[in-house]
Structures are given as C-alpha cells and as structure tokens.
Amino acid sequence: MATADDAVNQAVTDKDDGVRRRDFIYIATGAFAGVGAVAAIWPFVDQMNPSADVLALASVEVDVAPIAVGQGIKVSWRGKPVFIRHLTEREIAEAQAVDVASLRDPATFDERTQEGHRQYLIQIGVCTHLGCIPMGVADGEPKGDYDGYFCPCHGSHYDSAGRIRKGPAPKNLVLPDYEFTSKTNVRIG
C-alpha cells in the first residue's frame, strides 16, 4: 500500500513550496518547540548517515491550542508542509453531509479525522495532481468551490475535509501519521 510519503514525494516540488510559503500563518509556539527538539538531535543523526528507517522516525510535536476555531497553520514535517486546521462547526457539518459515494476518492469525515479530536484536520499540504501547495489555510479563509482548499496550478478544488471534488487531482490530500499525545498536543510522524 502506498504510504503518505510515496504520494507526496511524487508530487512535491521545492519551487512551488517557496512560492506559496508566504500564504500561510505560522504559529511558532509549540510547533517550533517541537521542531527544535527534533532539530537538536538532527546533527548527530545526520553525521551517522542514517538509513531510511531512521529518517522515518523523525517527528514533529505541535501544540494546537493556539489555533483558534476557523484558523489554520502550516508546519514543516520531513520537508513537507502539513496543514493543521481547527474546523468550524459549519465546515464539519458540510463535510459530514457529503454523499461519500459521489466522491472521486471516497472517504468519510470520520476517516479523515480522529475520534476525540474531530475539530482538527491534519493533512499534508501538497496537491495530489502535480505537487503544488493548495491555498486555504492562510487567514483561516477556506478557498475553492467547496469551502476547503484550492490549487491554482491547474484548478483542483478540495472540500473542507481535504477531499478532491473538482479539477485534475486524482486523490484527496494525504493524511500523515499522527497521534494526539494530549488534548492539545499532537505528534506528527
């Protein structure tokens, strides 16, 4: 089965990441504390020329408490942008009301969020068409025709749960492996 990395590594481009990076809000608190912890051990790991298995263990801890309802942030995880959005009740209701059978890449809202933390949508911010970074997190403003994310490169629209609804992208935005270690702390990777 293809992993999240497979799907993203196929698509991501450094050029696009640079162009779109400013579209997003960064919340340093928590997110950077976690990144810092990882960064501290990184020189040692790097010197040892680690295997892919070791690299796969790299993770980022993010405190999501500062993310207000309707706001999103982007954090970097293993060189990829990860969108973390605190969904509004309306976005959740919209996502739950969708006829899953009508979707190009069928997935329920519950399958794309975790029990007890349904208000947080965590996904890799790379379009599954050719790897641009979709708009939709900046300023908490949903983009596109489905109150979610819009990739301007070729016009892919994703809904509020990150599911592809229109345009050339074949798949939903990819979900990274993550785990909530407390009510407001999540470890990605």
Closest CA to 188 of 115, 91, 79: 79
Residue carrying structure tokens 């349904």: 118
The region that residue 165 occupies, defined by phi over 0 for left and psi between -120 and 50 for alpha, beta otherwise, is alpha
Size of the site for ligand FES (CB under 6 A): 13
Continuous H helices in 48-128 = 52-55, 89-97
Please report how close the Cβ of residue 156 comes to ligand FES at its closest, in angstroms: 4
Please report how close the Cβ of residue 169 comes to ligand FES at its closest, in angstroms: 5
Please report how close the Cβ of residue 116 comes to ligand FES at its closest, in angstroms: 32
Closest CA to 173 of 90, 93, 82: 82
**For ligand FES, the closer CB: 132 or 175:** 132
* Residue ranges in 109-168 that form contacts with ligand FES under rule CB under 6 A: 127, 129-132, 151, 153-156, 167-168
Q: Specify which residues 131 forms β-bridges with.
A: none
Tell me if 105 contacts ligand FES by CB under 6 A: no
Tell me if 8 contacts ligand FES by CB under 6 A: no
The upper half-sphere exposure of residue 163, i.e. CA atoms within 13 Å in the direction of its Cβ, equals 24
**For ligand FES, the closer CB: 67 or 127:** 127
Residues tagged active-site: 154
Residue ranges in contact with ligand FES by CB under 6 A: 127, 129-132, 151, 153-156, 167-169
